[in-house]
Amino acid sequence: MAQIIELTDANFEEVIKSFEAPVLVDFWAPWCGPCRIMAPVMEEIAQKFQKKIKVAKINVDDNPAVASRYEVRSIPTFILFEKGEVKKTVVGAMNTEKLIEELGI
């Protein structure tokens, strides 16, 4: 099973820039119903695309600096990074196929 990387304000930049592959980051919070609905979708994407992208998540309540830096105003928000740069941002819960389509992966 593919691993979903847990990010924090402290390790975010280092982790995002450490991978050659694109990194899909899920900005979420435990109290957010749509975020919980997206957890299995993120696991499916991590598994399906494990050779193509890395999947990570960051709790916006515990790590407000990163959420603020990337202007995350509502959750769930998904940001696809390539070489540390934002490539695509998608907001809201959706099924796996729709998220893959929106992100272009």
Among 4, 7, 32, 79, the active-site one is 32
Active site residue 35: yes
Indicate the DSSP class of residue 55.
Answer: E
Between the CA atoms of 93, 97, 102 and 105, what dihedral angle is there, to the nearest 10 degrees?
A: 130
Among 15, 25, 35, 99, the active-site one is 35
Active site residue 32: yes
22 Cβ contact partners less than 8 Å away, ≥ 6 residues apart: 52, 53, 54, 80, 81, 82, 87, 105
Which residues are known catalytic residues?
A: 32, 35
